[in-house]
C-alpha cells in the first residue's frame, strides 16, 4: 500500500516468457447521484474561504501547485474564470471545470507522460490526464486542495445491448477531486464537463497523475524484444458478467 492508501501489487518472474498478461476484474455498484447535493460548511459557501489549520496541515502538498508558472500565466487564467467578487464556491469550481475543456480539444495521446498546464493552454488540446492536470493546477493557484484520480469511465449507455453478441468497451480515465470542508472530496471531470462521481469508477488517487501509472516495470533483454502493448476494457451488467463466468467454467 502506498502513501495515499492505494493497493499496489508487485511481481517478479524468474523464467523467460514471451508475453505478460494482466487481468483485472471489478464488480462495481453505481450509486452516485447524477446531480449531487453537497453539504458544504457554511463558511466555505463563497470564495475565498479559509481552510482550518488542521485541514491545511493534512492537505499539505495537495495545496501547492506542482508546475512552474514563472510569468503568472496560469494564475491569471485561473483568476479570469472568476465572474465578479465573492463568487459562489461551487459555481466557481464548475466554471473552472468547464474552462478546462472549452476551447481545448480532447485528443487521445499514446505518448507517455502528462503535459504541463501551460502546454495544454498553448496547444489548445490534451488528453483526459492533461485536462485533469490543468484543472488541478488552476484550482491550486486559487488556494484549493486538489488531487488526481485514475480509474474508469462508465456510462450506462455503454452497457451491453442484450441483442448484441459482443461486449461494449469502456475507457481508462483521469479526473480531479477538490476538498471542500464538510463535503469532503468532490469529483470534477473536465473532459466531460461533469461534477460528482456518477459514471466514474475511481481506482487510485495521488498528488499528481504521474504517480498513478497503472503498470510500471522493466525487463531484461534487447530493445527490439518489446513488440507492443494493448489495453482492453470490457463492461457488462452484473447478471451478464456472472453468466459469462459460468460459461467459461
| More confident position, 237 or 26 | 26
For the residues 113-136, what does the mean pLDDT come to?
94
Q: For residues 36-59, give the mean pLDDT.
A: 96
pLDDT value of residue 158:
59
State the chain's mean pLDDT as an integer. Answer: 87
Residue 162 has pLDDT above 60, yes or no: no
Rounded CA gap, 205 and 151, in Å?
9
Q: What pLDDT, on the 0 to 100 scale, is given for residue 172? A: 81
Residues 6+ apart with CB under 8 A from 106: 125, 126, 127, 128, 131, 191
What does the block give as the cell for 108? 487521445
User: What is the secondary structure of 4-54 as a DSSP string?
Assistant: TS--------SS--S---------------SS------GGGSBSS----HH
Alpha carbon 231 to chain centroid distance?
Answer: 18
H or E segment at 106?
A: strand 105-106
pTM of the prediction? 0.86
Average pLDDT over residues 66-94: 93
Residue 119's pLDDT is 96
Q: Is pLDDT of 17 > 90?
A: no
State the pLDDT at residue 156: 67
Looking at per-residue pLDDT, the higher value among 166 and 181 belongs to 181
Instruction: Place 214 in a pLDDT band, splitting at 50, 70 and 90.
Output: confident
229/169: higher pLDDT: 229
Question: What pLDDT was estimated at residue 42?
Answer: 97
12 contacts 20 by C-beta, under 8 angstroms: no
pLDDT in tens, 181-209: 999 999 999 999 999 999 899 999 999 99
Ramachandran angles phi, psi of 153, nearest 5°: -100, 125
Q: Which three cell numbers stand for residue 239?
A: 447478471
Collect all residues with Cβ–Cβ distance below 8 Å to 81 and sequence separation of at least 6.
Answer: 92, 95, 96, 99, 138
Domains of the chain: 42-248 (3.10.620.30)
Give the residue carrying C-alpha cell 469502456. Answer: 170
Strands 125-126 and 105-106: parallel
Range with lowest mean pLDDT among 7-16, 35-44, 136-145? 7-16
Helix, coil or strand: residue 227: coil
pLDDT higher than 80, residue 102: yes
pLDDT surpasses 50 at 36: yes
Amino acid at each position: 500500500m502506498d502513501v495515499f492508501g492505494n493497493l499496489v501489487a508487485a511481481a517478479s518472474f524468474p523464467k523467460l516468457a514471451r508475453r505478460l498478461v494482466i487481468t483485472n476484474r471489478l464488480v462495481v455498484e453505481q450509486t452516485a447521484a447524477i446531480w449531487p447535493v453537497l453539504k458544504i460548511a457554511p463558511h466555505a459557501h463563497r470564495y475565498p474561504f479559509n481552510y482550518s489549520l488542521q485541514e491545511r496541515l493534512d492537505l499539505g502538498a495537495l495545496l501547492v501547485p506542482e508546475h512552474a508558472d514563472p510569468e503568472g500565466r496560469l494564475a491569471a487564467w485561473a483568476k479570469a474564470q472568476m465572474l465578479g467578487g465573492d463568487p459562489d464556491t461551487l459555481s466557481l469550481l464548475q466554471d473552472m471545470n468547464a474552462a478546462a475543456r472549452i476551447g481545448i480539444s480532447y485528443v487521445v495521446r499514446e505518448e507517455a507522460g502528462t503535459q504541463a498546464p501551460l502546454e495544454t493552454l498553448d496547444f489548445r488540446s490534451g488528453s483526459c490526464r492533461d485536462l485533469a492536470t490543468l484543472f488541478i493546477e488552476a484550482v491550486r493557484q486559487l488556494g484549493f486542495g486538489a488531487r488526481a484520480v485514475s480509474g474508469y469511465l462508465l456510462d450506462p449507455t455503454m452497457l451491453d445491448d442484450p441483442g448484441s453478441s459482443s461486449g461494449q468497451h469502456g475507457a481508462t480515465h483521469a479526473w480531479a477531486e477538490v476538498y471542500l470542508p464538510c463535503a469532503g472530496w468532490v469529483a470534477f471531470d473536465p473532459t466531460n464537463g461533469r461534477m460528482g462521481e456518477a459514471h466514474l469508477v475511481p481506482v487510485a488517487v495521488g498528488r499528481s497523475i504521474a504517480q498513478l501509472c497503472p503498470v510500471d516495470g522493466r525487463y531484461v533483454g534487447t530493445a527490439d524484444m518489446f513488440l507492443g502493448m494493448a489495453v482492453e476494457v470490457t463492461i457488462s451488467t452484473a447478471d451478464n458478467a456472472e453468466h459469462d463466468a459460468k460459461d467459461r467454467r
